Amino acid sequence: MDRRKFLTFAGCSCCSLILNSCATAPITERKQLKIIPEAKLNAQAAQAYEQIKEKETMSEDLQKLNEIKEIGKKMEDSISEYFYRSNITDPTVNFDWEYILIENKKIRNAWCMPGGKIAVYTGILDVTKNTNGLAAVMGHEIAHAVAKHSVERASRGVLLNTGTRVLDIFSGGILSDINRTTGMDTVGLLSQLGIMNPFNRKQESEADYLGMIFASLSGYDIRETRKIWERMKEFNKGKEPPEFMSTHPSSDNRIKNIDSWVSEIILDYPPIDL
């Protein structure tokens, strides 16, 4: 196949994928591209989760683990009930929820894999401080899974790699020459800074917003969310990279957004009676 035919074929294939894979994020209705099967990522996440449980040290603080599970259960039920009452397909219907508490004071983090596999590190508890703070962090992580952010990132990665190859062929290999001349993946770095990082920051802001909604629906005080990022800012003092180099918004911008959302969310998404 000559170059022109290949480019035509590749271009048509990409357009077909885009046209057939458009979706919207729940509640925010942001347009999304999904070309990777969600079931595939969920299965991979479940396997990785089991490996993490074997590799990492689980916390013996059963009281805190039970608190995490209680918060999670409230959010599971509230999220499903919200979508049911709104006559919207529940994005968590195929989730197999699970919660672990990892003993590691050096890591101030939590995450939720596709399919509802959640981990909290003991280090983040110094930031959350209380139940409402823990609910805010868990709401944010759960929001990533509910909004299918991993599916979307994987899909964009595939599309970006395909597009880069097509451009390299179209340019006669100029992109490859640049990489060889500089001795680094210059094109990949520019794509990361100019495309993927801004996109990831958009997802993080969306998870902040949706997470506050889920926490509010579950009966938690989302005014604690601002305090979490104030504390996180103190912990990260002098260590935050410039926002354009990061996959996350700066703490200052997160706090600014939270302040603009909190009253609206409290009014529009009150606790759901189950």
Angle between helices 62-85 and 131-146 (to 10 degrees): 50
31-38, long-range: CB < 8 A, 24+ apart:
32/148, 32/152, 33/152, 33/155, 33/156, 33/159, 34/148, 34/151, 34/152, 34/155, 35/155, 35/158, 35/159, 36/151, 36/154, 36/155, 36/158, 38/94, 38/114, 38/148, 38/151
- Catalytic residue, candidates 50, 81, 98, 141: 141
Whether 141 is a known active-site residue: answer yes
Amino acid present at 102: I
DSSP H/E element including 117: strand 117-121
Structure tokens at 230: 């104030």
Residues annotated as catalytic are 141
